[in-house]
């Protein structure tokens, strides 16, 4: 009997101990009190007096997915005093590959609350106003109130994105917008430019079209990838969350799946945060206008094609420069399709009976071009079929 009592007492003790340990593990830990000056020492060394402005700034970030979450974390870690973060949706299991801080236990919780909780553990001095709602024209005044130093658009829905940017543009609020990071893989093609001069970003192209109709043609800074999409929208449909279904009548959410690797939204989000910090901290940079660099470098190819069309084919070149660059640069990489050299190349029609287009343009050396025009270039059947296939798929 004594042995049985001892066993029962031991089991009770073990059970109560386990319950106590579980209870303590679920309690919110109070963040360690670390002097903010010490935590931000590297930023202060970089920005000097500008760090004071950063630590006095108020920034609003709308859209807290892959791009937005990385942007928010970057701003908070750099000392932004006050952040208002807005998103209507929840963390999903499929979004963990690109979210800045969310963990498995956060799945099903609102993005704004999840981000706020993690920020409290990273930099508790940051004042975070987390709002769980969808941005719209109706609540724009309320969500953007308080005289923010910057508004950051990380929305991935075109309708609400256009409403936000139009609102900020009309009221001269500093705003920067994120293009699409889905389907892209080359981090070196990330660019910062005015919305009027972007390239190869379908999201920004559609957004620009909407804003043009509303009288907004320039004056909005955009961070986007100029890379041609490595992957496109899949045919499969993504099931909308309950929150998406709630707002779908207004926002018209895309349901087709866009493949995305987690690193590209991080590159975009941190690029946006860096841009904003540079403006607030007074260490501004002039964005490399890669579009002008490309045009200056490769315009001679385009001009040569214009001359060839006029002199040999008696035609005016109708193909614009962006279409030309998509084929000559992105598809053929400025190389001869025949010998694969980049030395002494020019552009020419593939099918000599049709004008140059995105499905009828190749690069050849000057000697190869002369032979091609005179139908004496010794193509193999395999070469011709490969070129046709690539042009059709372009």
- pLDDT of 73 reads 98
In this model, does residue 139 exceed pLDDT 60? Answer: yes
Mean pLDDT of 130-159: 96
pTM: 0.68
Reduced to 3 states (helix: H, G, I; strand: E, B; else coil), residue 191 is strand
Task: Answer whether residue 91 shows pLDDT above 80.
Answer: yes
List, for residues 224-263, the tens digit of each pLDDT value.
998 877 777 776 655 555 655 555 454 445 455 778 898 9
**Residue with the larger pLDDT of the pair 247 and 303:** 303
CA distances from 170 to 175, 210, 276, 346 (A): 11, 15, 20, 46
pLDDT of residue 9: 60
pLDDT tens, residue by residue, 336-364: 999 999 889 999 999 999 999 999 999 99
Checking if the pLDDT of 316 tops 60, the result is yes
The number of CA neighbours under 13 Å toward the Cβ of 326 is 19
Is the per-residue pLDDT at 82 higher than 50? yes
Least confidently predicted of 35-39, 55-59, 323-327, 374-378: 323-327
pLDDT of residue 252: 47
CATH fold, domain 32-281, is: Rossmann fold (3.40.50)
> What is the spatial distance between Cα 108 and Cα 101, in angstroms, rounded to a whole number?
14
Confidence at residue 241, expressed as pLDDT on a 0 to 100 scale: 56
When pLDDT is averaged across residues 318-323 and rounded to a whole number, the result is 82
Between 13 and 110, where is the model more confident? 110
DSSP type of residue 172: T
pLDDT, tens digit, 9 for 90 and up, residues 277-301: 999 999 998 776 555 555 566 788 9
| CB contact set of 15 (below 8 Å; sequence gap of 6+) | none
Q: Is 221 helix (H, G, I), strand (E, B) or coil?
A: strand
Q: How confident is the model at residue 136 (pLDDT cuts 50, 70, 90)?
A: very high
Give the residue-averaged pLDDT of 174-184.
Answer: 92
Angle at 181 between CA 127 and CA 201, to 5 degrees: 125
Is the confidence at residue 25, as pLDDT, over 80? no
Neighbours of 69 (CB within 10 A): 29
First to last CA, the chain: 84
The chain-wide mean pLDDT, for the chain, equals 87
Percent of the chain with pLDDT over 90: 65
Listed in sequence order, the residues at least 6 apart from 101 whose beta carbon sits closer than 8 Å to its beta carbon are 69, 73, 114, 115, 118, 122
One-character DSSP codes across 330-375: IITTT--TTT---TTEEEE-SSTTS---TTS-EEEEHHHHHHHHTT
Which tokens in the block code for residue 295? Answer: 């045009």
Q: How far apart are CA 34 and CA 78, in angstroms?
A: 15
300-323 average pLDDT score? 90
Instruction: Please enumerate in sequence order all residues whose Cβ is within 8 A of that of 267, keeping only pairs 6 or more positions apart, or say none.
Output: 181, 187, 190
Task: For residue 300, give the nearest of 338, 346, 350 by alpha carbon.
Answer: 346
- Matching residue, tokens 């100029």: 226
pLDDT at 3 over 80: no
pLDDT beyond 60 at 222: yes
The DSSP secondary structure of 101-125, one letter per residue, reads: S--GGGTTSBHHHHHHHHHHHH-TT
SS in 3 state form for 9-68?
Answer: HHHHHHHHHHHHHHHHHHCCCCCCCCCHHHHCHHHHHHHCCHHHHHHCCEEEEECCCHHH
Range in 29-33, 132-136, 164-168, 196-200 with the lowest mean pLDDT:
29-33
Q: Residue 191: what are its φ and ψ, rounded to 5°?
A: -135, 160
In the chain, CATH 3.40.50.720 sits at 32-281
- SS3 category, 192: strand
């Amino acid at each position: 009997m004594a042995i049985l009592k001892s066993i029962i007492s031991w089991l009770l003790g073990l059970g109560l101990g386990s319950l106590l340990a579980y209870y303590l593990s679920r309690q919110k830990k109070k963040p360690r009190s670390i002097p903010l000056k010490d935590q931000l020492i590297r930023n202060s060394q970089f920005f000097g007096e500008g760090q004071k402005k950063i630590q006095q700034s108020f920034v609003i970030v709308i859209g807290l997915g892959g791009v937005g979450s990385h942007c928010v974390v970057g701003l908070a870690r750099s000392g932004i005093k006050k952040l208002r973060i807005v998103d209507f949706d929840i963390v999903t299991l499929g979004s963990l590959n690109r979210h800045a801080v969310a963990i498995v236990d956060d799945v099903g919780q609102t993005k704004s609350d999840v981000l706020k909780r993690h920020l409290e553990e990273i930099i508790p001095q940051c004042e975070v106003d987390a709002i769980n709602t969808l941005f719209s024209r109706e609540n724009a005044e309320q969500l953007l109130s308080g005289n923010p130093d910057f508004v950051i658009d990380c929305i991935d829905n075109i309708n609400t994105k256009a409403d936000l940017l139009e609102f900020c543009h009309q009221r001269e609020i500093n705003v920067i917008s994120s293009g699409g990071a889905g389907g892209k893989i080359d981090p070196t093609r990330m660019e910062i430019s005015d919305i009027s001069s972007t390239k190869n970003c379908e999201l920004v192209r559609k957004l620009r079209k909407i804003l043009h109709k509303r009288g907004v043609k320039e004056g909005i800074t955009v961070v986007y990838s100029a890379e041609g999409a490595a992957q496109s929208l899949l045919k499969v449909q993504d099931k909308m969350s309950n929150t998406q279904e709630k707002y779908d009548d207004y926002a018209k959410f895309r349901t087709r799946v866009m493949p995305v690797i987690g690193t590209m939204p991080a590159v975009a989000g941190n690029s946006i945060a860096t841009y904003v910090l540079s403006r607030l901290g007074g260490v501004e940079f002039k964005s490399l206008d890669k579009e002008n660099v490309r045009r200056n470098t490769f315009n001679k190819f385009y001009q040569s094609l214009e001359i060839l069309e006029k002199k040999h084919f008696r035609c005016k070149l109708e193909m614009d420069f962006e279409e030309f660059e998509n084929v000559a640069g992105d598809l053929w990489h400025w190389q001869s399709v025949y010998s694969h050299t980049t030395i002494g190349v020019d552009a020419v029609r593939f099918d000599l009976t049709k004008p140059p287009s995105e499905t009828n343009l190749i690069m050849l050396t000057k000697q190869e071009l002369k032979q091609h025009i005179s139908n004496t270039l010794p193509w193999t059947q395999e070469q011709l079929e490969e070129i046709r296939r690539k042009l059709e798929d372009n």
